[in-house]
Amino acid sequence: MNSSTADTKTNDKVQSRDFAFQAEVSRLLDLMVHSVYSEREIFLRELISNAADALDKLRYEALTQPELLRDDGDLRILLQPDKIKKTLRIGDNGIGMSRDEMIENLGTIARSGTKAFLDRLNAESEAAAKGQGKSEAGEKNKLGLIGQFGVGFYSAFMVADKVEVISRKVFEDTAHVWTSDGKGTFTVTEATPEQAEQLPHGTIITLHMKDDALDFLEEAELSRIVSTYSDHITFPIKLLDHNGEERKQLNAASALWRQPAHQVTEQQYKDFYAHVTGMWDEPQLKIHYRAEGLQEFTVLLFVPGHPPFDLYDPNRRGRIKLYVRRVFISDDAEILPAYLRFVRGVIDSEDMPLNLSREMLQNNPTVAAIRKAVTGRVLSELAKYANNDPEGYKTLWQHFGAVLKEGIYEDPERRDSLYKLCRFKTTKTAEGELRSLADYVADMRENQKEIYYLVGDNAKQVMWSPQLEGFKARDVEVLLLSDPVDNFWVTTALGFEGKQFKSITQGDVNLDDIPLAQRPRKKKKDEPDQQTIASVIRAVAEVLGDHVSDVRESRRLVNSPACLVAPEGGSDRALGKLLEKQHSGKAQAPILEINPKHEWIDLLQAKSRGRSIGDEKDRKEFEDLAWLLFDQANILDGVLPLDPVKYTERLNRLIFSAKPHKS
Ligand code: ADP
C-alpha cells in the first residue's frame, strides 16, 4: 500500500508531511477499517471521552491562567452531523494538540487498554492458528474485544473512511490538520487561515462516514448513543444542525459521583467506570460515598474487573482523579498508596483551595487527611466484600492480591487489616481454592505455635519440595507462596494474631512436639545409631567443603534422603536465589540436611568405612555419593547442580558400576 517512509511535499505556503503509523496502529486500523462490528456506536463514546479529557485539562490550566476562559467561558462538546456532506463533526474547546502532539498521540498507541487489547488479540490469533476451523468465531470474538477494551481515537475508522483532525493547542498561533484514511499513513499540514479561525483552541474531528454508517448522522441515533454512554460527562454535549445552530443538549452533564448512590443506575456506574478507566469490562467492586465532618469529600472508586497490563510497571502510579468542587485537578496526586494502585475513580474535595499547584498537593494537609481516610475505607470495603461475596473476592485477590501484599511491608500501620485480606494456596487447598490466615490459625495442630510457609517460583513446583514431608506427615498446613513479593513481606512480617511466620526452608524446624498424623513406620531392625550418623555427616561435610555452611541431621524429612535449607538469620532460600539472580548479593551457602532414617545413610556408611582406612575405590565412591546427594537436593529446589558436567560424570560412573560383568 503506501510507502512506509515519510516523504515531504511542499505546496505554496503550508508544509505537508506524510507519516507512517506505528506498526501496531496499522494492525489495529486494519481491523477497524474492515470492521462490521455491530456495536460500532462506541466510536462516539471514545471521541467524547477524549474531548472531555481535553476540557478537563484546559479547565485546570485556567485555574492559574483565567484569561484562557475569558473569550470562551463555556467549555462544551459539539456534535454536528451533515447528511449532505455525509460528515459528523465532533468539536471541543479544550486544551488542543500541538503538531508534535498530534503526530505522537494519533500515530502511536498510548492507552493501556489498547495495548491490552492487542495482546489479547495476539494470544487469540495464536490459539486460533493452532486449532483451525474456528476462525469465524475468532473474528467475532476479536471485535467483541473492541467493546471490552475500548480502542480510543482509532475506533473512528470503524465508521469513517477518512478522518480529519484540526487542532490548536492553547496559546499557539498555528493550528494543524491531521488526515488519514486509516491505511498505513497519515498527513499533517498547517491549517488554512479559514480553518484556524474556527478554533481559538481545541480540536475538531471530522468523520467522513462510510456508506453503511450514515445512521449515525440521525439526530435520534446520536441522542440515543450519547445518553447511553456519555450522559455522565460533566461538560454539556450539544447537537448542532448543519448550519451550526444549536438544536439541543444531549446529556445531563452532572457529575455522577455527586449524586446519592441510590439515584445512580448500574448502567450509569458502568459507563462512568469505562470513562475514568478506559476499560470496558465490568468493575469488580464499586465504592461510592460522601464523607462529611472535618473534611468533606465525595468518593467514587472502582476495582477493575481485570488487571491492567502495566500493573507491575515500576513507573506506574495510582490514577485516582482528584477534583475540587467538580474541577479536575490532577490524576497523579497519589491519593492512594502504591499498593492500591489498581483502584481507579474520582475523589472530589469540598475544602481544598482551587489554586493549588500539583506540586503543592504533595504536602497539603487536606490531601493527607483524605488519603488516610480513603485508604482506610478502601481496605474496610475490601474486607466487607470478602465477607459478603467470597467468590467475587477470590477473583479480585487473584488479580490484585500480589499488589495488596506490598502493603504489608510498606504500610506497617495497616498490616493487620491487610493480613485479614490475604488469601493463600496452602498444602491443604484444593485446586482453585484459597485460605485466609484466620482459616489457617483455626486449623493449627496441637502444639503448633508458628505459621509455616514455603516460598518458591510457582505453587505447583513448591508442592513437591522435600522440606514439606515432615509437615505433611503431621498434617501441619504450610502456606505455599509463589509471588515475587512474597520474598519480601515474609521477612518483615510480624506475626498474625500473635503467631510468627516461619519459613520451612530456613533455620531449624522442630516438629517433635506435634504428633504424627499417621502411625510412625516401624523401626527397622538395624537402624544406624547416633554415632554412625554423626560420622557419616562429618564425612559428607568434609567432601562438600565451602559449598555448604553445614551438614546436619534432618527433622523435617520423611521419604527423601536430603534437602537444603538456609542458615538462620540470613535470607531464606528463595530470597537468596532471587537476589543472586538479580546479581545483588550472594546467597549464603545452604545447609544440607540428611534424613537419618533413609537407606542412603547405610550406603554412605559402608563407603566411609573403606574411605577411613585408605581404600582408594571407596574414597572415590564416597565422594561421588556425597556430591550426588547434594546435587539432587539442589535439583529438588529448582536449581541446577553446582557443576552439571561433573554431576553427569558421577551419575554415569555409578550407573556403569552397576553394569553386569561379562563372564
Ligand atoms: P487515550 O485517550 O486513552 O490516551 P486515544 O487513542 O483515544 O487514547 O487518544 C490518544 C491521545 O490523543 C490522548 O491521550 C490525547 O492526548 C490525544 N487526544 C485525543 N483526542 C483529543 C482531543 N479531542 N483533544 C486533545 N487531545 C486529544
- Is 56's C-beta closer than 6 angstroms to any atom of ligand 1? no
- Is the pTM higher than 0.75? The answer reads no
Domain shared by 182 and 312, yes or no: no
- Is 393's C-beta closer than 6 angstroms to any atom of ligand 1? no
229, 249, 269 - which closes a domain: 249
Cell of 523: 523401626
- Is 50's C-beta closer than 6 angstroms to any atom of ligand 1? yes
Q: What is the CATH classification number for the domain harbouring 124?
A: 3.30.565.10
pLDDT of residue 579: 75
Asked whether residue 466 is domain-assigned, the answer is: no
Phi, psi of 81 (to 5 degrees): -85, 150
Strands, sheet with 285-291, edge to edge from the N-terminal-most edge strand: 285-291, 297-303, 344-349, 321-324, 327-330
Domain shared by 22 and 47, yes or no: yes
> Mean pLDDT for each consecutive 10-residue tract of the chain (663 residues)?
41 72 86 78 89 90 81 84 97 96 87 66 69 54 60 90 96 95 94 89 97 96 88 90 92 88 92 83 95 92 90 78 83 88 94 72 86 96 97 97 95 95 95 95 94 84 86 94 89 85 88 81 71 93 94 91 88 77 77 93 89 87 95 89 94 85 65
- Is 280's C-beta closer than 6 angstroms to any atom of ligand 1? no
Asked whether residue 288 is domain-assigned, the answer is: yes
Domain shared by 237 and 264, yes or no: no
Asked whether residue 557 is domain-assigned, the answer is: yes
- Is 206's C-beta closer than 6 angstroms to any atom of ligand 1? no
Determine whether 475 is exposed, middle or buried from the number of CB atoms within 10 Å of its CB (0-12, 13-18, 19+): middle
Phi, psi of 204 (to 5 degrees): -125, 125
Domain shared by 293 and 336, yes or no: yes
- Helix intervals (H) in 34-170: 42-64, 99-105, 112-130, 135-149
Identify the CA nearest to 436 among candidates 447, 449, 426: 426
Domain shared by 135 and 226, yes or no: yes
CA–CA dist 566, 574 (Å, integer): 9
Asked whether residue 398 is domain-assigned, the answer is: no
- Is 94's C-beta closer than 6 angstroms to any atom of ligand 1? yes
- Is 97's C-beta closer than 6 angstroms to any atom of ligand 1? yes
pLDDT of residue 314: 73
Q: Which of 22, 53, 58 to mutate to test the pocket of ligand 1 (most atoms within 8 A of CB)?
A: 53
DSSP 123-154: HHHHHHHHSTT-HHHHHHHHHHHHHHH--GGG
CA–CA dist 553, 25 (Å, integer): 62
Asked whether residue 483 is domain-assigned, the answer is: no
Domain shared by 244 and 261, yes or no: no
Identify the CA nearest to 466 among candidates 523, 504, 507: 504
Asked whether residue 149 is domain-assigned, the answer is: yes
CA–CA dist 319, 337 (Å, integer): 11
Atom of ligand 1 nearest to the CA of 278: 3
Domain shared by 370 and 387, yes or no: yes
Residue 619 one-letter amino acid = R
Q: How many Å lie between the centroid of ligand 1 and the Cα of residue 101?
A: 9
Which sign, positive or negative, has the C-alpha torsion 387, 388, 390, 393? Answer: negative
Distances from the Cα of 197 to the Cα of 83, 202, 259, 584, angstroms: 24, 12, 39, 60
Domain shared by 159 and 178, yes or no: yes
Domain shared by 152 and 170, yes or no: yes
pLDDT of residue 141: 59
pLDDT of residue 523: 61
249, 275, 299 - which closes a domain: 249
Q: How many Å lie between the centroid of ligand 1 and the Cα of residue 216?
A: 22
CA–CA dist 335, 361 (Å, integer): 10
Q: What is the CATH classification number for the domain harbouring 307?
A: 3.30.230.80
CA–CA dist 616, 613 (Å, integer): 9
Asked whether residue 517 is domain-assigned, the answer is: no
Q: Which residues pair with 478 in a beta bridge?
A: 452
Q: How many Å lie between the centroid of ligand 1 and the Cα of residue 50?
A: 5
Cβ neighbours around 635 below 10 Å, total: 11
Domain shared by 233 and 287, yes or no: no
pLDDT of residue 624: 94
The angle, 0 to 180 degrees and rounded to 10, between the axes of the packed helices 600-612 and 530-544 is 70
Which sign, positive or negative, has the C-alpha torsion 419, 420, 425, 427? Answer: positive
* In contact, 85 and 207? CB cutoff 8 Å: no
327, 362, 393 - which closes a domain: 393
Domain shared by 156 and 45, yes or no: yes
pLDDT of residue 222: 96
pLDDT of residue 357: 67
Q: How many Å lie between the centroid of ligand 1 and the Cα of residue 143?
A: 21
Rg (CA), the chain: 33
Ligand 1: residue whose CA is nearest its atom 15: 105
Residue 359 sits in which domain range?
A: 256-393
Domain shared by 228 and 331, yes or no: no
Tracing cell 479529557 back to the chain, one arrives at 53
pLDDT of residue 225: 92
Domain count, the chain: 3
E-only strand ranges, 489-602: 501-503, 550-553, 562-565, 591-594
Q: What is the CATH classification number for the domain harbouring 602?
A: 1.20.120.790
Asked whether residue 464 is domain-assigned, the answer is: no
pLDDT of residue 192: 92
